């Protein structure tokens, strides 16, 4: 069942002051009337409409001026949002308009409805972004949002220069073998010299060589 009421306050999604709207009877009875957000549409209450229209005009003018000043101010700000990331720099989750609204309140003490922060898609990467703000029906602005990682990205360690391969060492047995061969080669001429020197020594001493059997027979003759 619907009932018609006159709004006395601005209600997002429903209407503003002096608007005549139809709502569920239970919603009006249990919420709007007790909170003094609306009054029943009666002949006696119609006379309040003009006063509500003036109230509405004053509120909207004040909001317009406030949002115009805010639009100029937020363009100079950088809202920093720190998020958790993996070692590769990829974010866990995403940055939403609600998170931006919370950081605006925390960093600059600016209370802004998250519905005024217009994000086509949630932010899912580290970097700097320009986010559009719909502050008023006639006022728009942009806010710089800088998404930073809580996890510092460590630079990969530089690779150490490759060591030069060592030259294979020759087995010690080869050296010994060469040394032995050299000694043998050198030893051979020494033995000949000794033999020749031995004959020379005998000749100098006047020793006669031993006689053979043929010489003995000749002497008997």
Q: What is the mean pLDDT of residues 120-139?
A: 92
Within 13 A of 112's CA, how many CA atoms are on the CB side?
31
Phi/psi for 61 (5° steps) reads -65, -40
Predicted local confidence at residue 114, as pLDDT:
93
Phi/psi for 182 (5° steps) reads -65, -40
Sign of torsion, CA 121 123 127 128? Answer: positive
Predicted local confidence at residue 147, as pLDDT:
94
Predicted local confidence at residue 87, as pLDDT:
80
Question: What domains are there in the chain, each with its CATH number?
Answer: 2-72 (3.40.5.10), 79-149 (3.10.430.100)
Predicted local confidence at residue 63, as pLDDT:
92
Give Cα separations from 49 to 24, 62, 147 (angstroms): 21, 20, 48
Predicted local confidence at residue 169, as pLDDT:
61
Q: Give per-residue pLDDT as tens, 68-121.
A: 999 999 999 999 999 988 887 788 889 999 999 999 999 999 999 999 999 988
Give the H/E segment covering residue 133.
strand 127-136
What is the rounded distance in angstroms from the CA atom of residue 98 to the CA atom of residue 103? 9
């Amino acid at each position: 069942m619907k009932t018609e009421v006159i709004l006395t306050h601005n209600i997002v999604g429903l209407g503003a002051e002096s608007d005549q709207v139809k709502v569920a009877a239970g919603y009006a009875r249990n919420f709007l009337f007790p909170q003094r957000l609306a009054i029943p549409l009666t002949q006696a209450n119609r006379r309040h409409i003009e006063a509500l229209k003036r109230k509405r005009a004053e509120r909207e003018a004040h909001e317009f001026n406030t949002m115009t000043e805010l639009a100029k101010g937020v363009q100079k700000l950088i809202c920093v949002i720190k998020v958790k990331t993996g070692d590769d720099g990829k974010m866990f989750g995403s940055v939403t308009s609600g998170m931006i609204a919370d950081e605006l309140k925390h960093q600059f003490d600016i209370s802004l409805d998250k519905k005024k922060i217009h994000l086509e898609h949630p932010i899912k990467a580290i970097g700097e972004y320009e986010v559009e703000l719909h502050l008023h029906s006639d006022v728009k602005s942009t806010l710089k949002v800088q998404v930073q990682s809580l996890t510092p990205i460590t630079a990969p360690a530089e690779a150490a220069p490759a060591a030069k391969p060592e030259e294979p060492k020759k087995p010690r047995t080869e050296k010994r073998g060469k040394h032995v061969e050299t000694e043998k080669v050198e030893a051979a001429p020494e033995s000949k010299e000794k033999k020749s020197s031995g004959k020379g020594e005998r000749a100098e001493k006047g020793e006669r060589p031993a006689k053979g059997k043929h010489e003995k027979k000749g002497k008997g003759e």
